[in-house]
Amino acid sequence: MSVPPIDPGLVEEPYALQRHLGFRITHWAPDYARFELPLEPVLMNRYGIPHGGIYATLLDTVMGFAGCYTGDPERKVLAMTLTLNTSFLARPEGDLLIGEGKRTGGGRSTFFAEGTISDVTGTPCARGSGAFRYRKGV
């Protein structure tokens, strides 16, 4: 999927967990989001590979963002995760994880999404799916 880089006007100040882990949004469009996470030693498990919770967090983020694009920083939409399924596929190569999320369906109050985390070679390292509920009153 060819999606142009994110409009800098849509980039918000990173929230606390995002700052702590170091991931950043690079692309955001209708039904699509892409984040990158530089791999640091603090993100690794005792085998020297990213902890499973890192994959789950990145998948949750890209899938949630994929369903919340409005293109208007004044019209923010947020979602809460209802279900999150994660499958671990391969050890990553290199020092960067790339997470991509796609909204696959839904309606006014909920949506469904799928996500993939790949390494710098393009090898899928984890996949996920989830259901999300739009937050009301935001």
pLDDT tens digit sequence for 32-51: 999 999 999 999 999 999 99
The CATH number for 58's domain is 3.10.129.10
Across the chain, mean pLDDT equals 93
pLDDT tens digit sequence for 109-124: 999 999 999 999 999 9
> What pLDDT sits at residue 1?
57
Residue 22 lies in a domain: yes
Residue 3 lies in a domain: no
Residue 78 lies in a domain: yes
Residue 115 lies in a domain: yes
What is the span of the domain harbouring residue 109? Answer: 14-134
Report how many domains make up the chain: 1
Residue 9 lies in a domain: no
Residue 19 lies in a domain: yes
Q: What is the pTM of this model?
A: 0.92
Residue 101 lies in a domain: yes
Residue ranges of the chain whose pLDDT lies below 70? 1-2, 4, 8, 137-138
Report d(CA 100, CA 116) in Å as an integer. Answer: 5
